[in-house]
A = this chain, B = another copy of it.
């Protein structure tokens, strides 16, 4: 940064500080004590972590429409009912029901045959019992695909994460178009199947699933993720033998929609109950692993925020709602439903915070709001800094809370934990309880609770 800019920022900061008292009657000394107590409580409690253990180990993976997703709804409702909240209720929503079926088979058939780990992409059609066998065309982008003759072939999208990004989410964002848009683009050019390099920074033998999308009028072709080690091997073998074939068999299918629910727990505000602050995660997960970091931790942290308020006897001035959204992974129906009902009821949301980036050590929050809202959050900088919450930047939000955008002046806020390990586990069989550290998860919950507390006291 240039000196001139530095001075300008400094002066802007000074203006902000001086202006503060006029903005709201804040009491940073008292808030600092309350926030410290929130962390003390969270760091010495095992409730939420043990709840996560139950969700991941006893219920397990919980894809929308599955019996486990239904069990997670019942159980998380009961967990909140047992807390003596002001209100706990379900919000009905029809969700897609995609079923993976048997474990997929993926095999490189060149001079020798080599099994590799694949996982059908969510929403994908199956290959039929006989499987699909075809030559492979490797590409690194949807753009590169355009110039390729892929008729009758399997398109292999193999652009890796750009590891130079400090935030792994940025690398994910730069690669995930292959998974989301690859199958339609390939089908339009006559391809018969798609395999996509797994969305991860790491070299691994596990495949990372995730949703893909078909398009009306374009043939639905089978699509699978291949492990990064498998992708490296396939790419190497293709260089030696461009005519090798890839065999994939998967019997996944989409079944009729199923009735499911968002699960909502609420503490009514004492002074402005009509102003609602949402804190949430998504209750559904992919069917592989246990959905621990994605997004068991976000759900348990959201409930933990309410538990902290209850246990500490904090009576929030504004209403706080923990929302376990259903169907983030393959449809977003829960998020859409929540926003739709909020609109229909004329509810006034002032902020919605989502935790859907893993239960790792908190680094801050991303704020998608207007200048006033962002400035208000910045006035709390010194209250949050002792807890490592330095990343208070613009942009953020979350998939489930996204549909609330534009309803009044709601600020959408994304909880930002450390991102380095997230895509090691994301959408895989290894996203398990064992990968979650109690302290990291609880620091996250305390961070969310602290921000919710400040918003509930002072509005946004």
In the complex, the answer to whether A166 meets B388 with C-beta atoms within 8 Å is: yes
Say whether A312 faces chain B, with CB atoms less than 8 Å apart: no
Q: What are the interface flags for A6-17 relative to B under an 8 Å C-beta threshold, 1 for contact and 0 otherwise?
A: 110010011001
Question: What are 10 residue pairs bridging A and B, where the CB atoms are less than 8 Å apart in the complex?
Answer: A3-B17, A3-B21, A7-B17, A10-B13, A40-B164, A43-B166, A201-B439, A385-B390, A420-B437, A420-B440
The verdict on A387 contacting B1 (CB below 8 Å), with A361-B420, A420-B439, A421-B437 known, is no
Say whether A217 faces chain B, with CB atoms less than 8 Å apart: no
Using Cβ atoms and an 8 Å threshold, which residues of chain B touch A439?
163, 168, 201, 420
Q: List CB contacts (< 8 Å) of A349-372 with chain B.
A: 361, 363
CA distance A10 to B201 in the complex (A): 40
User: Which residues on A are within 8 Å of B, measured CB to CB?
Assistant: 1-3, 6-7, 10, 13-14, 17-18, 20-21, 28-29, 32, 39-40, 43-44, 163-164, 166, 168, 201-202, 361, 363, 382, 385-388, 390-391, 418, 420-421, 424, 437-440, 443
CA distance A256 to B420 in the complex (A): 45
A17 in complex: contacting residue of B10, B14, B385, B420, CB < 8 Å? B10
In the complex, the answer to whether B10 meets A14 with C-beta atoms within 8 Å is: yes
Using Cβ atoms and an 8 Å threshold, which residues of chain B touch A202?
438
A39 in complex: contacting residue of B20, B164, B385, B424, CB < 8 Å? B164
CA distance A363 to B420 in the complex (A): 13
A28 in complex: contacting residue of B2, B14, B201, B438, CB < 8 Å? B2
In the complex, the answer to whether B386 meets A166 with C-beta atoms within 8 Å is: yes
Using Cβ atoms and an 8 Å threshold, which residues of chain B touch A438?
202
Q: Which residue on B lies nearest to A41, using beta carbons? A: B164
CA distance A272 to B104 in the complex (A): 62
Using Cβ atoms and an 8 Å threshold, which residues of chain B touch A44?
163-164
CA distance A21 to B390 in the complex (A): 27
Q: How far is the CB of A48 from chain B (nearest CB, A)?
A: 14
CA distance A44 to B162 in the complex (A): 9
Using Cβ atoms and an 8 Å threshold, which residues of chain B touch A390?
385, 388, 390
Q: How far is the CB of A105 from chain B (nearest CB, A)?
A: 28
In the complex, the answer to whether B6 meets A17 with C-beta atoms within 8 Å is: yes
In the complex, the answer to whether A382 meets B3 with C-beta atoms within 8 Å is: no
In the complex, the answer to whether B29 meets A3 with C-beta atoms within 8 Å is: no
CA distance A363 to B2 in the complex (A): 24
In the complex, the answer to whether A443 meets B10 with C-beta atoms within 8 Å is: no
CA distance A387 to B418 in the complex (A): 12
In the complex, the answer to whether B164 meets A382 with C-beta atoms within 8 Å is: no
A3 in complex: contacting residue of B20, B361, B385, CB < 8 Å? B20
